[in-house]
Structures are given as C-alpha cells and as structure tokens.
C-alpha cells in the first residue's frame, strides 16, 4: 500500500483538485484507491458523494483500521486541510510514502511554500529518504509573468517540479461532477492528460521503487 499525501498549508493551492484527480487516475488504472479527506471543509468527501457509480471506484477512508485492511487498497490518497503544521504535519509526512505539494503562481503562495518546503526538507523522515516529494505547479497560465517567476522560484526548491497544470474550467466542472480529468472523453481532456503525464509517470516510478 502506498500513501500519497497532498499538502500545502495554503488554502486554495489545489490540494483537493490534485488529490481527487490522482485518485481518479489510479482508479482508472484498476487500482484499489481510498481517498482520505482530512479537511473539515470536506470537499473531497463531497466529490466522492457526487461521483457517478459508473466511474472507476474510489472508496472513502473507513472509520476503522480493520475496515481499511479489508479494503486492502493499493493506494491511500490523503487530502489534507489548509494550515497543517507542527506535530500533525510531521506525523502525516512520516506516515506517507509520497508527498505532492500543489502551488499556485502567486508571490504570497511562493513565500509561504518556500518556508513550508524548507521545513519539510529538515524532517528526519525526509532527510533519510523515507519519502519522495514533488511540487505540482497549479493554475499556471504559461503566458503570464507569474508563471515564469514560479518556474524560477522552483529551480531553487529542494524537490522536483513534476507537472504544470493549466488554469481551466475543466477542473471546476470535474469538482462539481465527482470526476477527474481521466474520466472525461479525450476530446475534452486530452490537453490535461498531457500535462498530467510527467506526474503520473513520477508516481509510477515511486511505486516501483517501493516494490
């Protein structure tokens, strides 16, 4: 079982968008996927509730440890709340195999994310190579100045930047419909599949490395 933690202390950076789309992608690859919604706002729980029964199944995190064992998932995807910090963050990081940090191109986000990444890099679990961490640039408009600034900023980050996701209503519609871009027809989502490819490849590589 691989635990994928999606975290960034900043609200609105794309945690739920990344977590639900990662879950949808893995489910589409016939993996058993559990989505753990740790945010009191319960956005991914609502997404799960709206997910059409005909789409590849994503299960909610059951309340009991024993039930999780029975589900025997290949992946647990954790959608974490804004403001996650301190001991709770350290615990989540320690329990994860993989961590994805979505970040949007705004100077405020970048400053907060820089502090967050520097803090994570100091964790024992991270220093000892216990988990793989990657940054996902979200809501990027390649034409804007801030996209270039984000790229420059991430050049110096301690973790790789594995994908650029564009700013598109496709994600808003997916959130509304309990879908991931991988559940959509090629005609609507091909550009987005393309953008996700380096990220899904990176995830597959981490899974292989874990055996």
Instruction: Point out which residues bind Mg ion (CB under 5 A).
Output: 15-16, 43
Q: Does 21 bind ligand ADP (CB under 6 A)?
A: no
Q: How many residues in the chain?
A: 211
Site size with ligand ADP, rule: CB under 6 A: 17
Task: Answer with the entry of Mg ion, ligand ADP, none that 167 interacts with (C-beta below 5 to 8 A by kind).
Answer: ligand ADP
Q: How far is the CB of 30 from ligand ADP (least distance, A)?
A: 25
**Paired tokens of 126:** 């991270």
Footprint on residues 154-173 left by ligand ADP (CB under 6 A): 165, 167-168, 171-172
Strands (E) located in the chain: 2-6, 33-37, 59-60, 75-79, 98-103, 132-140, 161-166
- The single-letter DSSP state of residue 181 is G
Task: Answer with the entry of Mg ion, ligand ADP, none that 182 interacts with (C-beta below 5 to 8 A by kind).
Answer: none
In this chain, which stretch among 9-17, 45-53, 58-66, 143-151 interacts with ligand ADP, using CB under 6 A?
9-17
In this chain, which stretch among 11-19, 22-30, 69-77, 93-101 interacts with ligand ADP, using CB under 6 A?
11-19
Site of tokens 């995190």:
61
Classify burial at 2, counting beta carbons within 10 Å of its beta carbon; exposed 0-12, middle 13-18, buried 19 or more.
Answer: middle
Nearer to ligand ADP, 1 or 55 (CB): 55
Task: Answer with the entry of ligand ADP, Mg ion, none that 71 interacts with (C-beta below 5 to 8 A by kind).
Answer: none
C-alpha pair distances (Å), 143 with each of 18, 136, 159 = 22, 18, 24
Footprint on residues 75-134 left by ligand ADP (CB under 6 A): 82
**Paired tokens of 180:** 């991931």
Q: Nearest-CA neighbor of 97 among 198, 6, 189, 182?
A: 6
Q: How many CB atoms lie within 10 A of CB 209?
A: 10
**Paired tokens of 5:** 């933690």
- Mark residues 135-154: x for contact with ligand ADP by CB under 6 A, - for none: ---xx---------------
Q: Does 12 bind ligand ADP (CB under 6 A)?
A: yes
Footprint on residues 41-60 left by ligand ADP (CB under 6 A): 43
**Paired tokens of 105:** 């191109």
Give me the residues that bind ligand ADP (CB under 6 A), please. Answer: 11-17, 43, 82, 138-139, 165, 167-168, 171-172, 175
């Amino acid at each position: 079982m691989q635990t994928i933690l999606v975290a960034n202390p900043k609200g609105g950076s794309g945690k739920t968008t990344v977590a639900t789309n990662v879950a949808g992608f893995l489910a589409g690859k016939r993996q058993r996927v559990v989505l753990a919604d740790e945010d009191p706002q319960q956005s991914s729980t609502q997404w799960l509730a709206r997910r059409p029964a005909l789409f590849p199944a994503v299960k909610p995190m059951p309340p009991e440890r024993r039930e999780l064992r029975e589900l025997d998932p290949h992946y647990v995807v954790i959608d974490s709340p804004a403001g996650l910090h301190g001991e709770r963050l350290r615990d989540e990081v320690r329990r994860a195999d993989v961590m994805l940090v979505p970040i949007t191109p705004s100077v405020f986000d970048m400053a907060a994310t820089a502090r967050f990444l520097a803090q994570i890099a100091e964790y024992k679990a991270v220093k000892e190579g216990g988990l793989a961490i990657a940054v996902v640039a979200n809501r990027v408009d390649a034409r804007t100045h801030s996209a270039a600034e984000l790229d420059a900023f991430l050049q110096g980050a301690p973790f790789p930047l594995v994908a650029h996701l564009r700013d598109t209503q496709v994600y808003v519609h997916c959130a509304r419909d309990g879908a991931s871009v991988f559940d959509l027809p090629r005609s609507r989502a091909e550009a987005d599949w393309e953008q996700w490819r380096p990220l899904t490849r990176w995830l597959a590589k981490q899974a292989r490395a874990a055996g």
